Amino acid sequence: MKKGSKIESPKGKLGVLMPGLGAVSTTFIAGVELLRKGKAAPIGSLTQMGTIRLGKRTEGRSPLIREFVPLASIDDLVFGAWDCFPDNGHESACKAGVLNEGHLEAVRKELAAVEPMKAVFEREWVANLDGKHVKKGKTKAQLGEMIMEDIERFRKQMGTSRCVMVWTASTEKYQKPEDVHRSLEAFERGLKENHPSIAPSQIYAWAALQSGVPFANGAPNLTVDIPAMQELAMKKGLPIAGKDFKTGQTLMKTILAPGFKARMLGLNGWFSTNILGNRDGEVLDDPASFKTKEESKLSVLETILQPHLYPLLYGKVHHKVRINYYPPRGDNKEGWDNIDIFGWLGYPMQIKIDFLCRDSILAAPIVLDLVLLMDLAQRVGMKGIQEWLSFYFKSPMAAPQLTPEHDLFIQLMKLKNTLRHLRGEELITHLGLEYYD
Ligand SMILES: NC(=O)c1ccc[n+]([C@@H]2O[C@H](COP(=O)([O-])OP(=O)(O)OC[C@H]3O[C@@H](n4cnc5c(N)ncnc54)[C@H](O)[C@@H]3O)[C@@H](O)[C@H]2O)c1
């Protein structure tokens, strides 16, 4: 991507296509509608509230990000979704229990207007759900074509000029890349032959990319994190990103762990446990889905702390993550962390965090930012893995030869420097020696 390339302006409607009309997606849609009515502020959204410093500190130039780069306006967003249950957006949001009655009532009409299309769903991949609002096709290739037809119909009905797909459906069971994922050719053969290792999320992603729609993955499923999808994204010139929205406990980890490392404080162990009672919690109660989430959550500390460089400080970290489904809590999760650190002369210390968080409240602004930034990426012609969007993910995708970047502050710098690069501004290195010459 050349510095200061021309960026096409965001004209017309931007379609947001979401497999999964559950807690996160309905909280996101409701929030956007409340914003449009002037009944809420976009708290938690970097694209809406964040500024970006340009030039030297003495210049005092810090525009809002949304004024610095041409992002679609939230007034131009239109929504489409698929779900294996037939509840419309309002019914689903009521069941999710994230938003209060006042908020739900204020956007009842807009939420109810989002009727989910029939899902590509297999119980095999999400054991704890038994949805019946499901497409029937002889092969996975046929199911993919049906999703492509849905996308085309949505485009016509809504009169969109561009679309972005964000996976907001349940976490699928754990899978490792196999031969069928290694090339586009093998994958497309697998679709026709109903290969058992092609997950529903991969059928949606394939259909999106074939339809010219960028794809971001909010769950820890492999989905586009396989060579076949990367090949397809490059071939179609489309951005892909993932995986697993960085909210709650992992967000805290990627804020604290870089701090410990910066001060060369040691870590003996980090025990994280969660209770949550939403449908996501129910799905994660199944060991196969939990395994996918666990892998995503565990990778964070190791990559931030780099035990190979600091064996004395981080060579023996006991890292445990537990998720317990506890229905009375609903979407209001409680995450406890016990962190055993050590300092000067090896003296031990403990930090306890009790985060009474609201998962979907943390995830909704991430969906908004990803939609707007993936759309920007597609207009600029950025294709393949969008590493600069790692900021939003627990398990950021990166080129095969790279270790992913997990440190929230490096991720933010990378994101902002990418925006500066796109607009032809100098990158900010934080060197600052020139102020003292
Ligand atoms: N809430 C957060 O903070 C957070 C953070 C990181 C990741 N996530 C991930 O985001 C996803 C959504 O979370 P949520 O809290 O909204 O969950 P949810 O259970 O409320 O919603 C998911 C929806 O997806 C539907 N679904 C499942 N399989 C489907 C398929 N194949 N096609 C279409 N629909 C399907 C379910 O019926 C459900 O309505 C989950 O995978 C979750 O792990 C959430």
- Encode the chain (437 residues) as per-residue pLDDT tens digits: 778 878 889 999 999 999 999 999 999 999 999 999 999 999 999 999 999 999 999 999 999 999 999 999 999 999 999 999 999 999 999 999 999 999 999 999 999 999 999 999 999 898 888 899 999 999 999 999 999 999 999 999 999 999 999 999 999 999 999 999 999 999 999 999 999 999 999 999 999 999 999 999 999 999 999 999 999 999 999 999 999 999 988 899 999 999 999 999 999 999 999 998 888 788 888 888 888 878 777 888 988 999 999 999 999 999 999 989 999 988 888 999 999 999 999 999 999 999 999 989 999 999 999 999 999 999 999 999 999 999 999 999 999 899 899 999 999 999 999 999 999 999 998 888 888 98
- Kindly state if the Cβ of 18 falls inside 6 Å of ligand 1: no
Say how many Å lie between the CA of residue 420 and the centre of ligand 1: 33
Whose CA is closest to 275, among 331, 319, 320? Answer: 331
Q: What is the DSSP letter of 376?
A: H
Return the beta strands (E) in 172-299 as ranges: 215-217, 239-241, 266-276
Q: What totals of helices (H) and strands (E) does the chain contain, helices first?
A: 16, 11
**Is the Cβ–Cβ distance between 363 and 216 less than 8 Å?**
no
Residue ID of nearest Cα to ligand 1 atom 25 = 20
What is d(CA 428, CA 437) in angstroms, rounded to the nearest whole number?
18
Say how many Å lie between the CA of residue 246 and the centre of ligand 1: 14
- Kindly state if the Cβ of 126 falls inside 6 Å of ligand 1: yes
What are the beta bridge partners of residue 275? 324, 334
User: What is the SS3 assignment for 399?
Assistant: coil
Can you tell me which atom of ligand 1 is nearest the CA of 92?
Answer: 39
Sheet holding 384-385, edge to edge: 117-118, 77-83, 13-19, 160-167, 215-217, 239-241, 384-385
- Kindly state if the Cβ of 17 falls inside 6 Å of ligand 1: no
- Kindly state if the Cβ of 21 falls inside 6 Å of ligand 1: yes
Can you tell me which atom of ligand 1 is nearest the CA of 394?
Answer: 6
Say how many Å lie between the CA of residue 295 and the centre of ligand 1: 17
What is d(CA 57, CA 278) in angstroms, rounded to the nearest whole number?
46
Give the dihedral sign, CA 94/98/100/103.
negative
- Relative to beta strand 239-241, strand 384-385 is parallel
Say how many Å lie between the CA of residue 281 and the centre of ligand 1: 10
- Kindly state if the Cβ of 200 falls inside 6 Å of ligand 1: yes
